[in-house]
Amino acid sequence: EKGGYDYFMLKEIAEQPKAVADTLLGRIDAAGSLTLDELRISPGALREVDKVVVIACGTAFHAGMIAKYAIEHWTRIPCEVELASEFRYRDPILDPQTLVIAISQSGETMDTLMALRHAREQGSRVLAICNTNGSTIPRESDAVLYTHAGPEVAVASTKAFLTQLVACYLVALYLGQVRGTKWGDEIRAVIRDLAQISGQVERVLETMEPVRELARSLAHKNTVLFLGRHVGYPVALEGALKLKELAYMHAEGFAAGELKHGPIALIEEDLPVVVVVPSPRGRSVLHDKIVSNIQEIRARGARTIVIAEEGDEAVVPYADHLVRIPVTPTLLQPLVATVPLQVFACELATARGNEVDQPRNLAKSVTVE
């Protein structure tokens, strides 16, 4: 059943290139445009959307945070993202022009379900992004975009996350395509890049041995910090969540720009800090700022584990450990940057003798509020 792997999680990490490709399958036409007829929300209705609200829990929430960057950039529609458990109880402002996107691997998460019911009662349209055919969340939504990750057995979400990202990009790009924005050329270029991305995920997987070795060498540590900026920030949160769940270690993700507002006080000699570095092309200001952050924490003794694009030489002098990821458009980087963090957490859990597929106290789907 585990296809020769020791754990379902390892199998599911390895399945990611296929999961990503399957989620794109049939959704990009020969001319390089998106065809999402399955959305069942008419292009007219999509043109009227004036606000997007994303609701989800856990890893799916991190996918939602990344969706916000993509949606606001490519469509210029304001987008909020909120933990489903918070959203439901704060009397959110919703109306028929609000498109609510509920992201859930299982389709059975009670907090997300209650949040979507609340949104529909206010007259908003709900689009589910879900991995489980016929589950409750898509059944109760107005429309559904299925991720095609296949069954995910390990409690820690991996391939479902990558496919949720793909689905979020598809929705953002489709909204941009339907509404016609000044980003038309960029949208077409990114659709072409998306079509190639599964091969890049594959390449990351082929280079993970040093990450596993590093994880084993850190098995005795108590704390690991994760820093990121822009879409690298939710990736940092996801890396920290994986480590908590699997390795039972204290792990925290921060927006790198927040360092000097508090977290830098945590830095001490030999503390492992994972930094997700944005591409030096495009938003080079962000890149340069994060390089100074790496310098700052290293000067205070941190052991820097730097995840950076191939060809990014500026980080080399400050990286105690350097993990290379392929060059991608800025917004797509989470698809490749998350993979080393999954491998890192899985290997640390194994080295600490933890139950990888079934961490203590956790259930695969949380069907109580």
Contact status: 64 vs ligand M6R (CB under 6 A): no
Number of amino acids touching ligand M6R (CB under 6 A): 16
- Asked whether position 366 contacts ligand M6R by CB under 6 A, the answer is yes
Could you give phi then psi for residue 317, rounded to 5 degrees? Answer: -65, -20
Q: Is 342 in the site for ligand M6R (CB under 6 A)?
A: no
SS3 track for the chain: CCCCCCCHHHHHHHCHHHHHHHHHCCCECCCCCECCHHHCCCHHHHHHCCEEEEEECHHHHHHHHHHHHHHHHHHCCCEEEEEHHHHCCCCCCCCCCEEEEEEECCCCCHHHHHHHHHHHHCCCEEEEEECCCCCHHHHHCCEEEECCCCCCCCCCCCHHHHHHHHHHHHHHHHHHHHHCCCCHHHHHHHHHHHHHHHHHHHHHHHCCHHHHHHHHHCCCCCEEEEEECCCHHHHHHHHHHHHHHHHCCEEEEEEHHHHHHCHHHHCCCCCEEEEECCCCCCCHHHHHHHHHHHHHHHHCCCEEEEEEECCCCCCHHHCCEEEEECCCCHHHCHHHHHHHHHHHHHHHHHHCCCCCCCCCCCCCCCCCC
Q: Which of 57, 249, 276, 315 binds ligand M6R (CB under 6 A)?
A: 57
Token digits for 354? 């933890």
> Sheet containing 125-130: which strands, arranged edge to edge?
79-83, 51-56, 98-104, 125-130, 143-146
CB nearer to ligand M6R: pick between 106 and 304: 106
CB of 160 to ligand M6R, least distance (A): 6
- Residue 58 binds ligand M6R (CB under 6 A): yes
Binding mask 232-251 for ligand M6R (x = CB under 6 A): ---------x---x------
Question: Given the rule CB under 6 A, which of 16-24, 55-63, 166-174, 347-355 is the region that contacts ligand M6R?
Answer: 55-63
Shortest spacing between CB 130 and ligand M6R, in angstroms: 8
Per annotation, catalytic residue among 2, 51, 244, 364: 364
Q: How far is the CB of 136 from ligand M6R (least distance, A)?
A: 11
Residues 93-122 that bind ligand M6R (CB under 6 A): 104-106, 109, 112
Which member of 10, 28, 156, 214 binds ligand M6R (CB under 6 A)?
156
Residue closer to ligand M6R (CB basis): 354 or 365: 365
CA atoms within 13 A on the CB side of 99: 27
Residues 174-213 contacting ligand M6R, CB under 6 A:
none
Select from 51-59, 189-197, 214-222, 315-323 the region that touches ligand M6R (CB under 6 A).
51-59
The reply to whether 18 belongs to the active site is: no
Residue selected from 59, 124, 293, 328 as contacting ligand M6R according to rule CB under 6 A: 59
Shortest distance in whole angstroms from residue 354 CB to ligand M6R: 14
Between 60 and 297, name the residue whose CB sits nearer to ligand M6R: 60
Instruction: Measure the CA–CA gap between 250 and 196, rounded to whole angstroms.
Output: 36
In the list 36, 52, 60, 128, the residue contacting ligand M6R (rule: CB under 6 A) is 60
Told to check if 293 binds ligand M6R by CB under 6 A, we report: no
Residue 157 sits in the site that holds ligand M6R (CB under 6 A)? yes
Stretch that binds ligand M6R, among 58-66, 185-193, 221-229, 258-266 (CB under 6 A): 58-66
The residues assigned a catalytic role are 364
Q: Which residues make up the interface to ligand M6R (CB under 6 A)?
A: 57-60, 104-106, 109, 112, 155-157, 241, 245, 365-366
